[in-house]
Amino acid sequence: MASRPAPLAPVTLPAPMLVRAAALAQAGAWRCELADQRLSWTPAVFDLFGIDPARPLDRCEAVERYTPESRQTMERLRAAAIERGTPFTFDAELVPGDGARRWVRVWGEVERHHGRAVALNGWKQDVTAERAAIAALRERADRDALTGLANRAAFRARLEAGDAGALLLLDLDGFKGINDAHGHAAGDACLAVVGERLASAFGDAHIAARLGGDEFAILLPDAGEARLAAARRIERRARMLSLPVEWDGRLLHFGVSGGLAFVDAGRLADPDAWMRDADGALYAAKRLGKGRIRIA
């Protein structure tokens, strides 16, 4: 019978190799003595915080490098860990000495002696690039690929937040004719230009979105009591959206119709009713001859 191979002995890496590996991962170890709050860091942690390792390390100085929100989170989790003896982890935003903000993932656990918490040990790792990549993916997921405006899902989420004062729904007049006569590439060119114009004309909007096809929606701040004047300003800005678009050596013409609905405090809890008001005003504008904005 063949003999089984002997189990491999565990490999212990020399300390310099561990430090080098941690540096490559942009991570470092830390320790805080609870009796006197004395900190011990490996070189990578000094780099993360932008603190000169040649100077005496002071916890107050280190804590000041956290943004206020991250500082509160850190102190809350730290206190809970000491009280309960449980590990913790969170992402903290730092403002290092160079002023360039970065994100650090913090892991920590409690060291106990005879049942009493005596120290905190853990790791800190730079996750700035990771969070930027996630944010970019989230941004793309919330964007309409053709126009660069927000998509329907992002618009709906913002609508339900209930902090806007006016809702403007827009529809392109004659857009189907452009697709039929010149093809969808021409129609896409028009939509892309309208997206650019809309973002420029309504720079104060809470959100500007393409809902689908040639339908657009904009959430605007509360106009206060001067709603008629606000409606006129909105209509003037909407007119620039319907300027001809140059494509393949020709000018493509279309119009823009819109429905505008202002919201009262009692309507904030019912975004669907608000959408119906604006949609009804939009169809009224189309029935009256298109190329205009109607107020619900």
For residues 242 and 262, what is the distance between their CA atoms, to the nearest angstrom?
A: 23
137 in a structural domain: no
**Helix runs in 85-126, H state only:** none
CB-based contacts of 66: which residues, under 8 Å, 6+ apart? Answer: 74, 92, 93, 94, 95
261 in a structural domain: yes
Question: What's the maximum distance between 2 C-alpha atoms anywhere in the chain?
Answer: 95
173 in a structural domain: yes
CB-based contacts of 167: which residues, under 8 Å, 6+ apart? Answer: 159, 217, 218, 219, 220, 260, 261, 263, 274, 275, 277, 278
CB-based contacts of 104: which residues, under 8 Å, 6+ apart? Answer: 48, 91, 92, 93, 94, 124, 125, 126, 127
59 in a structural domain: yes
For residue 107, give the CATH number of its domain.
Answer: 3.30.450.20
Query: Catalytic pick from 144, 173, 214, 279?
Result: 214
What's the gap between Cα 236 and its chain centre?
31
Per the structure, the count of domains in the chain is 2
Judgement on whether residues 100 and 236 belong to the same structural domain of the protein: no
Three-state DSSP state, 261: strand
Averaged pLDDT in 10-residue chunks for the chain of 296 residues = 51 48 70 94 91 90 94 95 94 87 94 94 93 85 93 93 89 95 95 95 94 95 78 89 94 94 69 92 91 90
Which of 85, 107, 132 marks a domain boundary? Answer: 132
10 in a structural domain: no
Judgement on whether residues 151 and 287 belong to the same structural domain of the protein: yes
Judgement on whether residues 201 and 258 belong to the same structural domain of the protein: yes
142 tagged catalytic: no
Judgement on whether residues 125 and 265 belong to the same structural domain of the protein: no
* pTM across the whole model: 0.66
Judgement on whether residues 165 and 73 belong to the same structural domain of the protein: no
Judgement on whether residues 168 and 239 belong to the same structural domain of the protein: yes
Three-state DSSP state, 219: strand
Residue 2: the pLDDT is: 52
Judgement on whether residues 156 and 110 belong to the same structural domain of the protein: no
* DSSP per-residue codes, 156-207: HHHHHH---SEEEEEEEETHHHHHHHH-HHHHHHHHHHHHHHHHHHTTT-SE
285 in a structural domain: yes
Which of 132, 155, 180 marks a domain boundary? Answer: 132
Judgement on whether residues 52 and 123 belong to the same structural domain of the protein: yes
Judgement on whether residues 114 and 193 belong to the same structural domain of the protein: no
For residues 80 and 74, what is the distance between their CA atoms, to the nearest angstrom?
A: 10
Judgement on whether residues 55 and 108 belong to the same structural domain of the protein: yes
Judgement on whether residues 92 and 153 belong to the same structural domain of the protein: no
7 in a structural domain: no
Range of the domain at 221: 142-295
Residue type, 261: A
Which of 109, 132, 155 marks a domain boundary? Answer: 132
For residues 60 and 66, what is the distance between their CA atoms, to the nearest angstrom?
A: 11
Residue type, 143: R
What's the gap between Cα 70 and its chain centre?
17
For residue 257, give the CATH number of its domain.
Answer: 3.30.70.270
213 in a structural domain: yes
Judgement on whether residues 291 and 149 belong to the same structural domain of the protein: yes
For residues 265 and 97, what is the distance between their CA atoms, to the nearest angstrom?
A: 46
Residue 100: the pLDDT is: 84
